[in-house]
Amino acid sequence: MVSVIGQRVLRVEDRRFLVGEGKYVENLELPNALHVSFVRSPYPHARIVGVDTSAALDLPDTQVLTAEDVELQVFPTPPIPLLNQEMPRPFVARDVVRYAGEIVGVVLTESRAAGADAAELVFVDYDPLEATADPRRTLAGEVQLYPDLGTNVVMHTAPEQPDGSLFDACEVVVSGSVVSQRLAPSPMEPRSSAAAVGEDGRLTVWLSTQTPHQDRDGLARFLGLEPGEVRVVAPDVGGGFGAKTLCVEDVIVAWLARKTGRPVRWTESRSENMLGMHHGRASILDFTIGGTKDGKIEAYRLDILADCGAYPGIGAFLPHFTDLMASGVYAIPKIEVQARAVVTNTTPTGPFRGAGRPEATQAIERAIDLLAAEIGADPADVRRANFVSPDAFPFTTASGATYDIGDYGGALDLVLEAAGYEALREEQRRRRERNDARQLGIGLSAYVEITNGLAESELGDVEIAPDGTATLRTGSFSHGQGHETTFAMIVADKLGLPVESVEVIKGDTDDVARGTGTYGSKSTQIGGVAAANAAEELVERARQIAADYLEIGIADTVLDLGTGRFHGIGAPSRGLSWPELAERLQKDGRLDELHVEHDFKAASPSFPFGAHVAVVEVDTETGEVELLRHISVDDAGTIINPLVAHGQVHGGVATGIAQALFEEVVYDEDANLLVGNFVGYAFPSAAEMPSFEVVDMVTPTPLNPLGAKGIGESGTIGATPAVQNAVVDAVAPFGIRHIDMPANGERVWNALQEARGA
Ligand code: MCN
């Protein structure tokens, strides 16, 4: 019997998306709903002198609420002891605004268009204060966002006793800096929420989210309700990329539904999304690497400065993951990391595809290339000389992560072979000799990342319906990742049913008992495993019942996975299929016996790894970069569905390339946002991407019975440094050692001009 696991099964959810039958919060019919519009500060830092709502209130059917009217306390900093808890975010700013986009008023109207008009008529008198988007300036205290606290620092970790002689024994020491620039997560569907109080007084909230159950609990807390008094429903979600968790706007919408007694809804525009949804990355990574003349690394120091925007959220915690993953795929004897997070007058930051791990990889992979350049070695050789050896796992790095399993050299060999590395270097040599205007750059990266980083637990609940089909209720929440297909495959494989006979239910807190949701590329390795374990236990129960009905011994009864029938060993003629078994149980009033809940918690996070090669052509006259090829090996252990996994890699790689070459949220020196939509923000399309070359490698993790690790973010983590390294490699003959991201156009041209001038 061929298992469905590992087959390229087409995504069952795609039909409804492709024919426009996806149902998003905005598609919800909510008769008599009020529309919410937010009045947002145009100033990045100002005292609020007064708010005049009279002109807006003169419009028909318009209500305006300011800080005084909104009876919600504060949106607190995540309760993580590392983080300064004294900078909580007000739902509506009262005395001061700390970033452009902060909410200063809430408008309720009968239509969205009326709301936009009314919001413009709310006059706020601001007294501007000095503002900055530069975390180095706030670190130095040049602008104080919280003068009463006397500090802008949210988080600071450092070795208790820094080693002053860290690099003393090194023959070669190189320093550098990577600015992991601020990015806008930019899901296709912006944020959207709606809420209504039912006749029974219960509150239902529809959210475009990744974490329905956590949001239900959060809403209950903010509104002073019991979790059971709130139902969260997450319909289809058009992407989250780490950025769609409960936000202040969602809470205000829910609060307003109770306050007004009417349904209330809000969907933001693209510009509002760029201003209001949290941003990602925004870290400055200063590093020093030291080793021998032949490229053996002996010591590494990383200094992380994270910009967490005006109000600290999870963004302030992400440097923890950068710190943890600082060593990358290398066995480095001595590592020191200092991590700081500070506030600035900008949109708050939070998780965005990779969330803290891209930063670690970007730093170490640039450091390796700089070391290679310094000693005149091939960057592939320097990597090989330092990989954690495949027989060293589980391996604990000097930065404190324990990697489950890996073969980093194997991944690099595979990707170099697929790329035709030698031939590429040959072509590069020819172009350099000819002094071609279009130079070739070849960039490498080798990475390891952490998935299920908090080692969480997830629910899988499998039940057999009267017609013999199965239903899986999962606490994971697919918002683009294809769980309706892959989780159905996992259950179908255990039950011996066709994939289409397994329905996957998710996202409704009344229908799914509990859940943590989807982030950190953890769903398959916990939610998927919980589903597998529940299905396995269900088969065991069913086998016993079937044995009873068939009047044969339990030990002699088997489930034929090819046909989905229980029968005696060697006697397939007399048996019970799932529909037959379900029918008998239904008749006997016992069908509920075929219902199993299972929670799976992995002992620790898993560590997917891989290697990427990027090939770029740089026009040395204009600085324009064209990505010619991108080849990747991403090892996520056992793959449930290669089609879906490759899709995840494609999306991830595109996100990684976008950071390396295109995207950047830009503020001016007074912290005004300069890119408020896709005209200014260079969100790339398929036209800017080559056809990705994906090479498979499978090293199952021992951490769960499926052997699966996460794949949702890997491509992003591997791609960015490979592409950045490729751009620098292309212009290396000019003596250029580094170009900041997005490394394209003007930045490359400036570097070339400077180099030529020199
Ligand atoms: N998969 C597989 N074999 C594996 C691992 C995964 O076949 N060994 C499949 C899974 O079953 C699932 C998909 O690949 O269908 C991704 O699974 P997994 O790696 O477990 O990640 P999650 O489902 O937890 O997804 C989260 C991850 C994150 S953190 C971000 S950010 C991200 C991403 O997924 N955001 C996305 N991919 C996205 N894809 C889309 N379309 N939209 C987003 O917002």
pLDDT value of position 429: 98
pLDDT the model gives residue 2: 86
Q: Quick: pLDDT tens for 81-98.
A: 999 999 999 999 999 999
Phi then psi dihedrals of residue 723, to 5 deg:
-70, -45
Which mutation among 481, 493, 643, 704 tests ligand 1's pocket best, with the greatest number of atoms within 8 A of CB? Answer: 481
Q: What's the pLDDT tens digit per position in 402-428?
A: 999 999 999 999 999 999 999 999 999
Å from CA of 648 to ligand 1 middle:
6
Kindly tell me the sign of the dihedral angle through the C-alpha atoms of 367, 373, 379, 384: negative
Ligand 1 centroid–CA 521 distance in Å is 6
Strands 264-267 and 34-40, by their bridges, are parallel
User: pLDDT by residue (tens digit) across 232-255?
Assistant: 999 999 999 999 999 999 999 999
* 711 alpha carbon – ligand 1 mean position (Å): 6
Distance CA 213, CA 514 (A): 6
Q: What is the DSSP letter of 696?
A: -
Q: From ligand 1's centre to the CA of 680, what distance in Å?
A: 29
Residue 153 sits at φ, ψ, to 5 deg, of -85, 125
How many other CB atoms are there within 10 angstroms of residue 114's CB atom? Answer: 18
Q: Decide: 59 and 81 in contact? Cβ < 8 Å.
A: no
Q: Does the pLDDT value for residue 261 go beyond 70?
A: yes
Whether pTM > 0.95 for this model: the answer is: yes
- Alpha-carbon distances, residue 591 vs 45, 539, 540, 545, 583 (angstroms): 62, 13, 15, 11, 8
Give the integer Cα–Cα distance in Å for 392 and 381. Answer: 20
Contact 178, 366 (CB under 8 A): yes
Q: What is the pLDDT of residues 574-602, one digit of tens each?
A: 999 999 999 999 999 999 999 999 999 99
pLDDT, average across residues 24-51 = 98
Question: 489, 5 in Cβ contact below 8 A?
Answer: yes
Q: Mind listing the pLDDT tens digit for each residue in 106-165?
A: 999 999 999 999 999 999 999 999 999 999 999 999 999 999 999 999 999 999 999 999
Task: Please give the number of the atom of ligand 1 that sits closest to the Cα of 524.
Answer: 20
Point out the ligand 1 atom lying closest to the alpha carbon of residue 637: 8
The pLDDT tens digits of the residues spanning 302-315 come to: 999 999 999 999 99
Which tokens sit at 123?
Answer: 């006059």
Nearest CA to ligand 1 atom 4: 639
In this prediction, residue 1 carries a pLDDT of: 73
Given a contact cutoff of 8 angstroms between Cβ atoms, the answer to whether 639 and 6 are in contact is yes
In this structure, are residues 560 and 567 in contact, taking their beta carbons and an 8 Å threshold?
yes
Closest ligand 1 atom to 485 CA: 15
| The pLDDT value given to residue 168 | 97
- Percentage of the chain lying above the pLDDT 70 cut: 100
pLDDT band (50, 70, 90) for residue 398? very high
**pLDDT at residue 566 greater than cutoff 70:** yes
C-alpha 233 to ligand 1 mean position (Å): 21
Cβ proximity of 459 and 598 under 8 Å: yes
CB 275 within 8 A of CB 190: no
Residue type, 620: T
* Closest ligand 1 atom to 707 CA: 8
Mean pLDDT of 65-69: 97
Minimum-distance ligand 1 atom for the alpha carbon of 710: 19
**What pLDDT shows up at residue 65?**
98
Nearest residue (by CA) to ligand 1, atom 33, is: 712
Ligand 1 atom with the shortest distance to the CA of 240: 44
- Residue 303 CA to ligand 1 centre (angstroms): 30
CA of 80 to the centre of ligand 1 (A): 26
pLDDT digits (tens, 9 = 90+) for 202-237: 999 999 999 999 999 999 999 999 999 999 999 999
The pLDDT score that the predictor gives to residue 27 is 97
Residue 122 Cα to ligand 1 midpoint, Å, equals: 42
Give the mean pLDDT of 432-454: 97
Structure confidence at residue 189 (pLDDT) = 97
Q: How many helices (H) and strands (E) does the chain have?
A: 18, 30
Q: Which residues are bridge partners to 442 per DSSP?
A: 615
Measured in Å, residue 284 CA sits from the centre of ligand 1 at 28
Q: What is the pLDDT of residue 758?
A: 66
- Give the DSSP per-residue string, 491-503: HHHHHT--GGGEE
State the number of CA atoms in the 13 A half-sphere of 387 facing the CB: 25
Pick the atom of ligand 1 nearest to 480's CA: 41
pLDDT score for 719: 98
The closest of 387, 551, 532, 389 to 470, measured between CA atoms, is: 532
Q: Which residues contact 160 (CB under 8 A, 6 or more apart)?
A: none
- Upper half-sphere CA count for residue 510 (Cβ side, 13 Å): 10
Ligand 1 pocket by Cβ (under 6 Å): 239-242, 353, 479-483, 486, 518-524, 528, 636-641, 644-645, 648, 651, 708-713
Nearest Cα residue to atom 30 of ligand 1: 241
Report the atom number in ligand 1 closest to the C-alpha of 714: 19
